[in-house]
Amino acid sequence: MKTNYPISIFSLFFFSFIFSLQTSAQDSVKVLKVEEKPKKWYETVSIRGYAQFRYNRLFETNSNLKCEQCDRSWGDKGGFFIRRMRIIFFGQISQRVYFYVQPDFASSVSSSSLHFSQLRDAYFDIGIDKENEFRLRVGQSKIPFGFENLQSSQNRLPLDRNDALNSAVANERDLGVFFYWAPKKVRETFSMLVRDGYKGSGDYGVFAFGAYNGQTANKPDLNNELHVVSRLTYPFHIGNQIIEPGVQGYSGKWVMASDQLTKDVGVNTSLAYNDRRLAGTFVLYPKPFGIQAEYNIGKGPEYNPQTDSIETQKLAGGYVTLNYRLKLKNQFIYPFIRAQYYDGGKKHEKDARSYNVKELEVGLEWQPFKSFEFVAMYTLSKRRFEDSVLKNNRQDGSLLRLQAQINF
């Protein structure tokens, strides 16, 4: 039988070459698999932050109009002001453990003492399941009460949080343990609403429940009773729109610290007062028109000018913010208007200062690029704030407020 040796030799060479390629590829995969070592915890750590620079005195009509919980550079002797200087360290250090630490290098302990370093957040999230849909948050973090309280100042449109819900927890934080649950898809939605500029609140779960000291961040517990809090919220997709209704509430005992009290002001012998609130939330994310509204009711300590004493009294108030998201190429423009009302005490201020607030704010946020934002906001305000020293203190006025923000 005649054999074609050149073709047979060529075939043998060809198949030998293909086999060698396959062997090399398999060896390469083995090498790659060997080289895919788990990352060290410090290789997962990231750093980001933001800074806010403000001026509040343009077109000011009343230098005695102030807001202690808002911005200490309001009013008389206020000037250029660093509102926040945050650097955040965070990372998923293992499949089920996430950490987050945020100091602020521009904390203001009073109107005359500015730019102190203070710890804001320091917590760990411990995943109960592999997807981290169920998790425990341990440490100092935001209390899950109120959408705008949870919304980062980096993302919020108005320059300050509303009086009504923010009076519940000064600086929005405390030490405690919180349980959060949210399905994976919902957690992705929470992340998208912040990442893509829809002014989301971040991921604080669909359901939250926890216990905390109740005396606000960086302060010790002053009694043997913890505050408890719970929140339920869910972002619904309706066509192109996303709406997020929510309800939340907390209960505990607030203790007036001695350095909060004016001499001879009347107080309970225990210095402890009922501190309870219930709040509702409705958010229509700006696609392109948005609505954000919240209202809370409750009871808490409040100064009574008639008796010159601190008493447990009813409180109520809320706000409505209308906004619009306009995208021009890579720029974002957000015109907004917010009306707010609050009648009640502020437990963390001197003598649980009594407030009645009616305020309208009209503003515009401009983001020419991701690392820079500029906000101009005109405020018309009527505020009554009274304690044992400030009697019959009613201040009306208006002012133009400006803020430059750097994101990094």
Range of the domain at 53: 46-407
Task: Establish if 37 belongs to a structural domain.
Answer: no
Task: Establish if 3 belongs to a structural domain.
Answer: no
Task: Establish if 393 belongs to a structural domain.
Answer: yes
Contact criterion met (CB below 8 Å) for 179 and 210: yes
Task: Establish if 35 belongs to a structural domain.
Answer: no
pLDDT tens digits, 360-370: 999 999 999 99
Across the chain, mean pLDDT equals 91
The count of structural domains within the chain is 1
pLDDT tens digits, 129-167: 999 999 999 999 999 999 999 999 999 999 999 999 999
Task: Establish if 301 belongs to a structural domain.
Answer: yes
Q: What is the CATH number of the domain that holds 354?
A: 2.40.160.10
Does the structure show a pLDDT above 80 at 26? no
Q: How many angstroms separate the CA atoms of 349 and 206, rounded?
A: 32
Contact criterion met (CB below 8 Å) for 276 and 297: no
Does the structure show a pLDDT above 80 at 252? yes
What pTM did the predictor assign?
0.89
Neighbours of 326 (CB within 10 A): 12
Beta bridge partners of 233: 246
pLDDT tens digits, 39-52: 887 888 999 999 99
Task: Establish if 400 belongs to a structural domain.
Answer: yes
Burial class of residue 211, CB neighbours in 10 A (0-12, 13-18, 19+): middle
Task: Establish if 390 belongs to a structural domain.
Answer: yes
Which of 38-42, 182-186, 266-270 bottoms out in mean pLDDT, i.e. has the lowest? 38-42
